[in-house]
Amino acid sequence: MNHKKQFLKFVVPSIVSMLVFNLYTMIDGIYVARFVGEKALSAVNIAMPYINFIFAFSILFSVGTSTVVAIFRGENKLVQANQTFTRNTLFLSVCGIVITLVAQYFLNDLARFLGASEATMPYVLDYLGTIAWFSFFFIVSYSLEVLVKTDGFPRLATAAVSVGAVTNIVMDFVLVVVFPMGIKGAALATGLSQVLTFTVFFLHFLMKRGNIHWCRTTLDMSVYKRILPIGIADFITEMSAGVIVFLFNHAILKYIGDDGIVTYTVITYIYNLVMMTFTGISQGTQPLVSFYHGKKEPATCALFLRYARISTFTISIVALGFCLLAAPLIVSIFIDTNIQPLFHDSVKAFRMFSLCYLVIGYNIIYSGYFAALEKNRYSFTISMLRGFVFIAFSIWVLGWLFQGDGIWLATLLCECMTLLCSTWFMHTEYKKRKRVSS
pLDDT at 137: 93
Q: What is the dihedral of CA 11, 15, 21, 22, to 10 degrees?
A: 150
Provide the domain count of the chain.
1
Phi/psi of residue 295, each to 5°? -85, 5
Least confident segment among 127-136, 211-220, 249-258 = 211-220
pLDDT band at 386 (very low <50, low <70, confident <90, very high): confident
The per-residue pLDDT for range 79-120, each reduced to its tens digit, is: 878 888 888 888 899 999 999 999 999 999 988 888 777 777
Residue 26 has pLDDT above 70, yes or no: yes
Q: What is the mean pLDDT of residues 189-196?
A: 90
**Residue range 134-154: mean pLDDT, rounded:** 86
| Residue closest to 83 by CA, chosen among 221, 254, 244 | 221
**Mean model confidence pLDDT for the chain:** 85
pLDDT of residue 24: 64
What distance in Å separates the CA atoms of residue 234 and residue 417, rounded to the nearest whole number? 19
Q: What is the pLDDT of residue 436?
A: 64
Output the pLDDT for position 409: 94
Mean pLDDT within 206-219: 74
Q: Which amino acid is at 284?
A: G
In terms of pLDDT, which residue wins out, 73 or 57?
A: 57
Q: In this structure, are residues 67 and 228 in contact, taking their beta carbons and an 8 Å threshold?
A: no
Of 74, 67, 66, 86, the C-alpha closest to 208 is 86
- Choose among 199, 191, 157, 203: nearest CA to 17: 157
**Least-confidence region, from 22-31, 244-253, 358-367:** 22-31
22-26, 234-238, 269-273: which range is least confident on average?
22-26
Q: How confident is the model at residue 25 (pLDDT cuts 50, 70, 90)?
A: low
Instruction: Give yes or no for a contact between 350 and 330, defined as CB atoms under 8 angstroms apart.
Output: yes
pLDDT at 165: 80
Are residues 50 and 114 in contact, defined by beta-carbon separation less than 8 angstroms?
Answer: yes
Q: Which residues, in sequence order, are CB contacts of 68 under 8 Å at separation 6+? A: 81, 84, 223, 226, 227, 230
Between 13 and 136, the more confident residue is 136
Residue 1: what pLDDT?
60
Mean pLDDT, residues 6-20 taken together: 80
Range of the domain at 256: 3-437
Mean pLDDT of 149-170: 81
